[in-house]
Amino acid sequence: MILPVKSMPETWSAVGSTLVTFIFFWNMIQRYCPPEIRHYLEKCTARLSGFLNPNIQVSIHEYTGNHLRPHEAYSIVNAYLSLNSFNAKRLKAEMAKENDNKLMLSMDEYEETTDVFNGVQVTWTAGKVSTPPRNGGFSHYLEPERRFYKLKFHKCYKKMMTEEYLEHVIRKGREIQARNRQRKLYTNGHSSYWSHIVFEHPAKFATLAMAPEKKEEIVDDLLTFTKSKDYYARIGKAWKRGYLLYGPPGTGKSTMIAAMANLLDYDVYDLELTSVKDNTELRKLLTETTTKSIIVIEDIDCSLDLTGQRKKKEEKPAEEKPEKVEKKSSRKEKEESGSKVTLSGLLNFIDGLWSACAGERLIVFTTNYVDKLDPALTRRGRMDKHIELSYCKYEGFKVLAKNYLELDGHPLFQSIEELILEVEITPADVAENLMPKSAKEGPEQCLQNLICVLKETKNRKCREDKDAENNDDGETIEDAAAVIDTHAM
């Protein structure tokens, strides 16, 4: 008996009908089947799919722990694929390190590439998952998309892939990262996550206007910290160190931070506290920082209501209505500022349980008015090293003269040394006067400009001291006259 052969349209029609029937029944199961039975059927389907599919997939996500921290393996795989994805059709380009004419290519999202290891071909796929907005809104609570890579290979090569190939990827990826690493400057801006640009600040300790002994002390402290992982583990402390930089404006606090980053090859996280909604968001930002980084809060004395001394509450008379109005007004302003970060939350950020989430980090605060800070914020153990950056001294001037004028000595140096001991002038002001304003100004003219500014500053200070002395004498005479009048009465 010969069965009739179906034509191609009839075959495709039968396949389509079967698929539609399967989809219909699967939809009915999803809608009306009890959860227990549905879960069992899904497990069976997954097992059947795994039995029929000979491939194994390994996912490497950009974040770990429910989007708490960046996954180091993701960045390593990304570096590895930047040199092993040329058979992909869609690539994305980034500038290579210190070379504006060279682009570093890597695989774009939803793209696929292949790699060969010991004669075995594997497949890499790039993808991303959109995250829903927090609290259902569309403001700065939106989180970035979570990207991932998927590695696919035949199950018969599982041992070789998981033990040898992935180790090969990690080793090569780290080598590529070391060659192409660009240090980054991160900021939280007005969002709940970090954004970054390439960190290219040229500051070095050699160019800082400080006494050589003080610079050497700071450099030794920093280098000792980077080599002390085992020591910190032995004494039971998180591998971090706090630095408090304080002094008048223009004394080089921000430049000092850049010099630290360049010395240690660390990334910089510039944390804007006023943009942080609450302690929970502060903790989230902290956990997303990476190792080998400097977390900076500049002008901590101006950040929220964290700088005042904690005072005991005093009872106020009920009749002081204007003061109550003022309190309500200040409370309303604080609520409208949008930030509810507390001193307690900040202290936990510095040395609480969450402070050990990454390791090998510096936490740096800067302030112009160290006396305004709460002692709980600046005590040793939180801010381990206090560095005062004060007015420019003669040693600092010589460094600036070398930087700006390429001078190691000059006859005018003696006059400047005598004047700079008598006046208070910041390194920023000295540098401004040493910088040539036109092509006609030579080193000597720049030094003369600085001498003129130093003399003007000295004369102004003398006048102010004289006026203050005259005021004191006038007050003394008035007090004496008042005493005489009292006795005469």
User: Would you list the DSSP string of 4-30?
Assistant: PPPPHHHHHHHHHHHHHHHHHHHHHHH
63 has pLDDT over 50: yes
Residues 292 and 266 sit within 8 Å (Cβ to Cβ): yes
* Calpha distance 447→427 (Å, rounded): 14
Confidence label for 320 from pLDDT (cuts 50, 70 and 90): very low
In a domain, 440, yes or no: yes
Closest C-alpha to 450, from 481, 482, 418? 418
Position with higher pLDDT, 390 vs 324: 390
Q: What are phi and psi of 106, to 5 degrees?
A: -145, 165
* Calpha distance 416→394 (Å, rounded): 8
Confidence label for 22 from pLDDT (cuts 50, 70 and 90): confident
334 has pLDDT over 70: no
Q: Find the mean pLDDT for residues 89-106.
A: 71
Say yes or no: 302 and 268 in one domain. Answer: yes
Whats the size of the chain, residue-wise?
489
27 has pLDDT over 90: no
* Residue where the block lists tokens 């998180």: 238
Position with higher pLDDT, 177 vs 252: 252
Q: Find the mean pLDDT for residues 88-99.
A: 71
In a domain, 7, yes or no: no
Position with higher pLDDT, 21 vs 249: 249
Question: What sign results for the dihedral spanned by CA atoms 388, 389, 393, 394?
Answer: positive
100 has pLDDT over 50: yes
Say yes or no: 212 and 344 in one domain. Answer: yes
210 has pLDDT over 70: yes
Say yes or no: 465 and 365 in one domain. Answer: no
Position with higher pLDDT, 24 vs 233: 233
Q: What is the pLDDT of residue 204?
A: 94
- State which residues form the domain around 210: 195-307+337-388
In a domain, 98, yes or no: yes
Say yes or no: 345 and 268 in one domain. Answer: yes
DSSP string, 202-214: ---GGGSSS-HHH
Confidence label for 489 from pLDDT (cuts 50, 70 and 90): low
Q: What is the pLDDT of residue 474?
A: 59
Say yes or no: 266 and 371 in one domain. Answer: yes
Sort 487 into a burial class: Cβ within 10 Å, 0-12 / 13-18 / 19+: exposed
CA 10 from chain centre, in angstroms, equals 64
In a domain, 48, yes or no: yes
Position with higher pLDDT, 348 vs 397: 397
Say yes or no: 271 and 420 in one domain. Answer: no
Residues 292 and 177 sit within 8 Å (Cβ to Cβ): no
In a domain, 188, yes or no: no
Q: What is the pLDDT of residue 51?
A: 65
275 has pLDDT over 50: yes
304 has pLDDT over 90: no
Angle at 391 between CA 390 and CA 395, to 5 degrees: 100
* Calpha distance 292→265 (Å, rounded): 8
Say yes or no: 267 and 342 in one domain. Answer: yes
Q: Find the mean pLDDT for residues 245-259.
A: 94
Confidence label for 101 from pLDDT (cuts 50, 70 and 90): low
Q: Find the mean pLDDT for residues 33-41.
A: 72
Give 235-251 pLDDT, tens digit per residue: 988 899 999 999 999 99
Give the residue from 367, 388, 409 where a domain finishes: 388
330 has pLDDT over 60: no
Position with higher pLDDT, 322 vs 58: 58
Question: Tokens for 350?
Answer: 């510095």
Give whichever of 11-15, 42-46, 156-160, 477-481 has the largest mean pLDDT. Answer: 156-160
Long-range contacts of 169-176 (CB under 8 A, 24+ apart): 169/76, 169/77, 169/80, 170/73, 170/76, 172/80, 173/75, 173/76, 173/77, 173/78, 173/79, 173/80, 174/76, 174/79, 176/79, 176/80, 176/82, 176/83
Cβ neighbours, 10 Å, residue 456:
11
Q: Find the mean pLDDT for residues 384-402.
A: 93
Q: What is the pLDDT of residue 312?
A: 45
Say yes or no: 280 and 208 in one domain. Answer: yes
Residues 154 and 55 sit within 8 Å (Cβ to Cβ): yes
In a domain, 126, yes or no: yes
* Calpha distance 446→438 (Å, rounded): 10
428 has pLDDT over 50: yes
Count of domains for the chain: 3
Residue 186, CA distances (Å) to 178, 348, 437 in order: 20, 21, 34
Q: Find the mean pLDDT for residues 52-70.
A: 77
- Reduced to 3 states (helix: H, G, I; strand: E, B; else coil), residue 138 is coil
Q: What is the pLDDT of residue 251?
A: 92
Q: Find the mean pLDDT for residues 313-329.
A: 46
Q: Find the mean pLDDT for residues 334-340.
A: 57
Residues 195 and 187 sit within 8 Å (Cβ to Cβ): yes
- Reduced to 3 states (helix: H, G, I; strand: E, B; else coil), residue 426 is coil
Q: What is the pLDDT of residue 478?
A: 59
Of 35-44, 93-102, 194-203, 243-252, where does mean pLDDT reach its minimum? 93-102
Give the residue from 388, 408, 431 where a domain finishes: 388
315 has pLDDT over 50: no
- Reduced to 3 states (helix: H, G, I; strand: E, B; else coil), residue 475 is helix
Say yes or no: 357 and 210 in one domain. Answer: yes
Q: What is the pLDDT of residue 165?
A: 94
Q: What is the layout of strands, in order, in the sheet containing 240-246?
A: 195-198, 184-187, 267-270, 293-297, 361-367, 240-246, 385-388
**120: β partners:** 117
395 has pLDDT over 50: yes
* Calpha distance 438→445 (Å, rounded): 11
* Residue where the block lists tokens 């002081």: 320
Confidence label for 198 from pLDDT (cuts 50, 70 and 90): confident
Q: What is the pLDDT of residue 333?
A: 45
Question: Tokens for 129?
Answer: 């998952």
Say yes or no: 435 and 481 in one domain. Answer: yes
Question: Tokens for 106?
Answer: 């890597």
In a domain, 91, yes or no: yes
Helices marked H in 33-136: 35-52, 72-82
Say yes or no: 292 and 215 in one domain. Answer: yes
Question: Taking the C-alpha atoms of 185, 191, 193 and 198 in order, what is their torsion angle to the nearest 10 degrees?
Answer: -20
Residues 6+ apart with CB under 8 A from 133: 141, 142, 143
In a domain, 187, yes or no: no
Give 466-487 pLDDT, tens digit per residue: 877 777 655 555 565 555 565 5
133 has pLDDT over 60: no
Confidence label for 336 from pLDDT (cuts 50, 70 and 90): very low
Extended beta strands in 163-218, E state = 184-187, 195-198
Say yes or no: 73 and 124 in one domain. Answer: yes
Summary mean pLDDT of the chain: 81
Confidence label for 6 from pLDDT (cuts 50, 70 and 90): low
Give 436-464 pLDDT, tens digit per residue: 888 788 899 999 999 999 999 889 888 88
Angle between helices 443-488 and 427-434 (to 10 degrees): 140
Q: What is the pLDDT of residue 331?
A: 46
Percent of the chain at pLDDT > 70 equals 79
